[in-house]
Amino acid sequence: MDHFVYKDGVLHAEDVPLARIADALGTPFYCYSTATLVRHYRVFAEGFDGLDSLICYSIKANSNLAVIGTLAALGAGADVVSGGEIRRALAGGVPAHKIVFSGVGKTRDEMAMALDAGIMQFNIESEPELAALSAVASGRGATAQIAVRINPDIDAATHDKIATGRKDNKFGIPWPRAREVYRAAAASPGIEVVGLAMHIGSQLLDLAPFEAAFTLAARAVAELRGDGHDIRRLDLGGGLGVTYGQDTPPPPADYAVMVRRCVGDLGCQLIFEPGRVLAANAGILVCRVIYVKETGHKTFLVVDAAMNDLLRPALYEAGHEIIPLKEPAAAAPRAPVDIVGPICETGDILALARPMPPVVADDLLAVRTAGAYGSVMASTYNSRLLVPEVLVKDGEFSVVRARQTFEELLGSESLPAWLAGKSAA
């Protein structure tokens, strides 16, 4: 459920007509709804009422400071994967003691920065990373609390590019090898073993792979405790899917019941790292039709948003719903069109053979479920400017990231001395 709905025939974000934002800012732009973010956070959190749990919002899904701040105000911590994301989490108001640092390639500089900030936990993904963290922490007289990320070798049955829990993926350490890593960790200066972590993939539409992974996690916790480790936190990662097109993800409440069944009685604090399920439906990308191009063979809607603004359809064949800002008549005929951007690549697609009501040039469209992995994955390919982001709350909207300018785009580049001042003869 989200708060982008037609009222009197025009699409609103909460109580703000989206066309009003388009008039003020131009297109394209991302628009986020506070009410949807809050609702999704609450629905997810409610499932774990009465359990010792912490929701560490996965910053990578949407790292706009206003989005982080909205969730931080509800009590969310943060799952981060870079020094940049630590900075964002802190700037968005997440206390350091609620930050979990994941990722296979943490550099020593990032470790030092995270230790100085006083983050809660590092999720360790390899032996060399453990050695590096031990060196960095002990060198600063600090202690890093760690969990080891286990790779359970489970197929999450999601898109290949976002499955992370199989043994041929780069993530985590296979069980039982991880048991050795725990032994090494316990003997490493500057390291305190506190937990176990797992994240098997993203956009999961079935609870079964989660259940298999969490069952293995419960067994691993018992064995590690038997080895003498004080495993008091269990980080179950993110991964719960959302609806793009025809997908039917399990409701968060069912996920919570399954979690309780698998790991609810271990006496661990449960950490969750949801990204998409909190942010995806809380955002849309609004764009304008530049041309309706008829080839005789096909109809293309050429819009002013492109794969550089929203990469998911091109990269993962994701089927984001696309609707006109002006509500079409229920009886309006639907005809298949390709919705494409201006980028010079055939892959620059927002939707293929999508049944759409009649649309003409200058019409505004909303690409739905774009609040997660939308703006954060944008680039300036084809020298297109990064688009603005807007946060709506009730009847108000605020520009929470301005449209990039050409001065910003070109300002950090320069001609080398041997070219400066020369012009072609």
Residue 287 annotated in active site: no
Q: What is the CA radius of gyration of the chain?
A: 23
Question: Is position 202 an interface residue for ligand LLP (rule: CB under 6 A)?
Answer: yes
Residue 164 has φ and ψ, to the nearest 5°, of: -130, -5
Let me know if 281 is exposed, middle or buried by CB neighbors in 10 A (0-12, 13-18, 19+): buried
For residue 50 the two structure tokens come to 């009465």
Site string for ligand LLP, 76-115 (x = CB under 6 A): ---x----------------------x-------------
Residues pairing with 395 in the sheet: none
Whether 280 contacts 12, CB under 8 Å:
no
Among 275-283, 337-345, 390-398, 411-419, which window interacts with ligand LLP (CB under 6 A)?
A: 275-283
Question: Which long-range contacts does 178-185 make (Cβ < 8 Å, 24+ apart)?
Answer: 178/148, 178/150, 178/151, 178/220, 179/220, 179/223, 179/224, 179/227, 181/124, 181/127, 181/130, 181/148, 182/148, 182/224, 182/227, 182/229, 183/227, 184/127, 184/130, 185/124, 185/130, 185/146, 185/148
Taking contact as CB under 6 A, which single stretch among the options 125-133, 173-181, 232-240, 400-408 is the one that binds ligand LLP? 232-240
Is residue 271 near ligand LLP by the rule CB under 6 A? Answer: no
- Considering the complex, state which of residue 199 and residue 368 has its C-beta at the smaller distance from ligand LLP: 199
Beta-bridge partner residues of 329: none
Of 106, 233, 276, 393, the one binding ligand LLP (CB under 6 A) is: 276
Q: How far is the CB of 104 from ligand LLP (least distance, A)?
A: 10
Q: Is 349 left (phi over 0), alpha (psi -120 to 50) or beta?
A: beta
Query: Segment contacting ligand LLP (CB under 6 A): 1-9, 137-145, 271-279, 397-405?
Result: 271-279
Largest CA distance in the chain: 78
- Cβ proximity to ligand LLP: between 356 and 372 the closer is 372
Query: Between 316 and 381, whose beta carbon lies closer to ligand LLP?
Result: 316
Q: Please tell me whether residue 375 binds ligand LLP under the rule CB under 6 A.
A: no
Does residue 275 interact with ligand LLP by CB under 6 A?
A: yes
Q: Does 238 bind ligand LLP (CB under 6 A)?
A: yes
DSSP helix, strand, coil percent of the chain (3-state; round to 5):
30, 25, 40
Among the options 31, 56, 268, 344, which is catalytic? 344
Shorter beta-carbon distance to ligand LLP: residue 70 or 203: 203
Q: d(Cα 148, Cα 221) in Å, to the nearest integer?
A: 11
Strand 29-33 to strand 389-393: parallel, antiparallel, or no bridges (unpaired)?
Answer: parallel
Site string for ligand LLP, 132-171 (x = CB under 6 A): ------------------------------x---------
Question: Of the two residues 214 and 373, which places its CB atom closer to ligand LLP in the complex?
Answer: 373
Residue 239 binds ligand LLP, judged by CB under 6 A: yes
Residue from 125, 273, 304, 338 binding ligand LLP (CB under 6 A): 273
Contact 40, 278 (CB under 8 A): yes
Residue 174's DSSP bridge partners are 151
Interaction of residue 320 with ligand LLP, rule CB under 6 A? no
* Total number of residues that touch ligand LLP (CB under 6 A): 21
Residue 199 engages ligand LLP in binding (rule: CB under 6 A): yes
CA distance 27 to 42: 31
Given the complex with ligand LLP, which of 210 and 373 has the nearer CB atom? 373
Chain residues binding ligand LLP by CB under 6 A are: 58, 61, 79, 102, 162, 199, 202-203, 237-240, 273-277, 312, 316, 372-373
Which residues are catalytic, by number? 344
